[in-house]
Structure 1
Amino acid sequence: MGGEWPEGWQRVKLSDAGQWLSGGTPSTANDAYWGGEIPWISAASLKDFHIGHSDRRVTPLGARNGSRLVEAGAVLFVVRGMSLKSEFRIGVSGRQVAFGQDCKAIIPAEGIDPQFLAHAIQVRTPQILAMVEETSHGTGRLDTERLQELEIGVPSEEVQRRIIAAHGVVERRIAALERVRAKLKAVEGALTVEAFGSIDSHGLKVPLESIATVTAGVTLGSEPVGEDVIELPYLRVANVLDGRIDTTNLKKVRILRSQYERYALRSGDLLLTEGGDMDKLGRGAVWDGRIEQCLHQNHVFKVRCGDEMLPDFLALYTSSKAGRAYFQSVGKQTTNLASINSTQVKSMPVPVASLAQQEKVLGPIRSVRSRIAVTDRRIAKLRIVQRGMLESLLSGNVGSTLVYA
């Protein structure tokens, strides 16, 4: 979108849309900087469009020494982190917050509403993600100089308010469905706790490597050439989500034909991510074989179960409270991300249960997950409608009654 806007709209480069600010991290060795009342926003905590909460908080002293303060109405977005490999996180501060070096902020110029500016940037997500580069640590990095060159159309403040209101109508419908989804997830969680509470009461656990094989995938970099080379799609961290696999944006890699069996996926393989935010370590899903020949990257572990373990049961356990707790207990935290290694995955204690017990556990949970999937599809459809509507309005389709009614 972009390029031509109606008469009366201003063409504005993002570099001129407001004051750009960089963040920072106060010294974690100084207790006087942390534990205050000011939310400290990082790539990990910037998850909602309306920004106002974070698990980590700084004091006014901490904000002045190493971080950056912004008031309500600042547009914040992630410029470095694992999340950039699959999504562009952006939002508007609803109160005074501080933010880290993995984020940038824009204080909108006079005449530009913060929510309008955030939406105008957000609808350019495909272009923005195309600018993301991968660092040596496997995280994403956004070149802000390139981002600043993007142009947006800015109408009058009245039209801006009407565009925001139109967006809000759909957002409230989505929010209602998300509340339904949250209740269903709570039911799923309760069923999982109940199921594993009964199984764990027997106290029998074995290392994962005793009932499954764990392997890493293709290391990207220097790819082979020649007659004995094949090029195939592969799953990377961005494709492996919590409970599902997203194949809408697959990349390809070349490998030697002799390496195919080593890196190939089979239906029923459990895929677990190696790194990311600490609370997302070991997230994963079972591969359904939707692509006949597909590989996995080295940052995604492939877990292939033997005859004693159902992949869905193992996936349920790795995503359970106990499974998450294990990955967080062994994960290694760095400045930008956390990670686990194959030895830790292989050593993960998993409960012993008969196949009949596993099927019994999975029955009611599959039923709830089916309802969650239906809700997810409804939310996804509304998101598509919302995005299309917003793109249309932000491109200046002034005939829309949503804007001028």
Structure 2
Amino acid sequence: MKTHLICTAIDRLTEVGARGAKMAQPDHILMLVRGMTLLKDVPIGFVTKPVAFNQDLKALVANENVNPLFLSYLLVEKKRVMMGLVNTANHGTGRLDTNLLKALPIDIPPLPEQRKIADILSTWDRAIETSEALLATARTQKRALMQSLLTGKRRFPEFEEQEWKIGGLDLLAEIHMGQSPAGSTYNSDGIGSPLLNGPTEFTDRHPVARQWTTKPTKMCKDGDVLVCVRGSSTGRMNVADGAYCIGRGIAAVRKRNGLTDTVYLQQLLHSLVELVLSRAAGSTFPNIDKKSLNALQVHIPTYEAQKRIGLVLADADDEIDSYVGDIKNLHAEKKALMQQLLTGKRRVNVDA
């Protein structure tokens, strides 16, 4: 249940399977009551189409004097309280007891006000869904652009006659493998060089240091592409926005001056994530070494073509970032509204 309004599902049942399945109907509310997820969240969804559910979920049916959509939003607002009701079974799985759930105290306004509040909040949900659909489309278009522009299948008219090379990544970049400094040199007071040891400091784009070292070993530079090369996060990437000391779990991929455009290199590496993972050695603890990174086969256009391709793909990233920002803002606005409308701090006018 990744969205509040349940309109579809990833899995499907055959007609035979559906006959024996428990079905939630439109206006029912589905809530997770068993599973590891309960240790960090209580997923709640409002059903808009018939959907089958298993024993880890409960379907709630609102009483006649309660608007079901309003109730679903009210339960979301009560998540923090419900988290306190979750206990763990013998094997550590979270469990939300039905009797405790039934005893949960809630405040219900008159039915007309419930409907009005539900209409207001569902407007935000629809806006979020629209923005998420636009984001998904933008990401699909970006992937298509990368597949065509970074392989030479699609070329800009002014560069059509120029020859592309195919070779190892080492023709475009230098690989600098990280080396962890002694643990005794670490601090969280901002003294020395910022230190990156792995994915815990990575974000959507640029890393955020949480530790520093007074005796840095290997340093990356502004614009380097940082690649996780050890463990389950192998292949995850960020772009350095300054100088950092890098530990052994990270490699810095640095452009070759005069031969490689920084943005092109960044986009190229992001397109190679799956290939990087395929080169990783080890199943339980994957890792990739400098030789394997250098051997990654890439298409290499002229420097001017690289710059043009990089600009187009960077514009696509800007569009994606814009939609991501819109979605974050809409979620924040909806959360603020819920805190006001579902606690009675802010009342709504209901037409007579």
TM-score normalised by the chain length of structure 2: 0.62
Q: Secondary structure at the match of 2:2?
A: coil
Aligned residue number for residue 157 of structure 2: none
Aligned residue number for residue 288 of structure 1: 241
Give the strand-richer structure, 1 or 2.
1
Give the Cα–Cα distance (whole angstroms) in 2 for the partners of residues 319 and 213 of structure 1.
15
Aligned residue number for residue 307 of structure 2: 359
Aligned residue number for residue 336 of structure 2: 388
Match of 1:230 among 177, 187, 194: 187
Give the Cα–Cα distance (whole angstroms) in 1 for the partners of residues 83 and 171 of structure 2.
37
Give the Cα–Cα distance (whole angstroms) in 2 for the partners of residues 229 and 312 of structure 1.
32
Give the Cα–Cα distance (whole angstroms) in 1 for the partners of residues 244 and 169 of structure 2.
30
What aligned pairs does 1:3-402 form with structure 2 within 5 A after superposition? 46-51=1-6, 53-57=8-12, 71-72=24-25, 73-76=28-31, 80=36, 91-93=45-47, 94-98=49-53, 104-108=56-60, 110-111=62-63, 115-116=69-70, 119-120=73-74, 122-123=76-77, 153-156=106-109, 159-198=113-152, 204-207=166-169, 211-213=173-175, 215=177, 228-231=185-188, 237=199, 240=202, 244-245=205-206, 252-253=210-211, 257-258=214-215, 260-262=216-218, 266-272=221-227, 275=232, 282-289=235-242, 298=249, 301-307=250-256, 309-320=260-271, 323-326=272-275, 329=278, 340-343=286-289, 346=293, 349-353=296-300, 354-401=302-349
Alignment check: 8 A CA contact 2:29 2:60 kept = yes
Give the Cα–Cα distance (whole angstroms) in 1 for the partners of residues 147 and 332 of structure 2.
34
Alignment check: 8 A CA contact 2:168 2:297 kept = yes
Q: Secondary structure at the match of 1:205?
A: strand
CA apart distance, 1:305: 1.6
Give the Cα–Cα distance (whole angstroms) in 2 for the partners of residues 61 and 312 of structure 1.
53
Give the Cα–Cα distance (whole angstroms) in 2 for the partners of residues 217 and 162 of structure 1.
59
Q: Rate the CA distance shift 1:390–1:229 in 2: closer, same or farther, 3 A.
A: same
CA apart distance, 1:295: 7.0
Report the AA paired with residue 194 of structure 1.
S
Report the AA paired with residue 168 of structure 2.
V
Give the Cα–Cα distance (whole angstroms) in 1 for the partners of residues 82 and 54 of structure 2.
21
Q: Rate the CA distance shift 1:128–1:213 in 2: closer, same or farther, 3 A.
A: farther
Alignment check: 8 A CA contact 2:44 2:76 kept = yes
CA apart distance, 1:195: 0.8
Report the AA paired with residue 394 of structure 1.
L
CA apart distance, 1:203: 6.8
Give the Cα–Cα distance (whole angstroms) in 1 for the partners of residues 241 and 42 of structure 2.
27
Alignment check: 8 A CA contact 2:167 2:298 kept = yes
Give the Cα–Cα distance (whole angstroms) in 2 for the partners of residues 246 and 396 of structure 1.
41
Q: Secondary structure at the match of 2:57?
A: strand
CA apart distance, 1:361: 0.8
Aligned residue number for residue 11 of structure 1: none
Give the Cα–Cα distance (whole angstroms) in 2 for the partners of residues 339 and 380 of structure 1.
34
Q: Unaligned 5+ residue runs, structure 2?
A: 85-91, 155-162
Q: Unaligned 5+ residue runs, structure 1?
A: 1-45, 131-140
Report the AA paired with residue 287 of structure 2.
N
Q: Secondary structure at the match of 1:351?
A: strand
Instruction: Say what the alpha-carbon RMSD is for the aligned residues.
Output: 5.3
Q: Can you list the C-alpha shifts for 1:236-273, whole angstroms capped at 9, x where unaligned? A: 7476455x3486xx8x45x7633x444x6643233456
Q: Rate the CA distance shift 1:57–1:367 in 2: closer, same or farther, 3 A.
A: same
Q: Rate the CA distance shift 1:161–1:285 in 2: closer, same or farther, 3 A.
A: farther
Q: Can you list the C-alpha shifts for 1:77-126, whole angstroms capped at 9, x where unaligned? A: 59647xx99x98653454333569xxx53433654766555544545778
CA apart distance, 1:217: 8.5
CA apart distance, 1:155: 1.6
Q: Percent identity?
A: 15
What is the aligned residue count? 316
Aligned residue number for residue 26 of structure 1: none
Q: Rate the CA distance shift 1:123–1:310 in 2: closer, same or farther, 3 A.
A: farther
- Structure with the greater alpha carbon radius of gyration: 2
Alignment check: 8 A CA contact 1:199 1:352 kept = no
CA apart distance, 1:198: 0.6
Q: Rate the CA distance shift 1:369–1:124 in 2: closer, same or farther, 3 A.
A: farther
Report the AA paired with residue 305 of structure 1.
R
TM-score normalised by the chain length of structure 1: 0.56
Alignment check: 8 A CA contact 1:52 1:97 kept = no
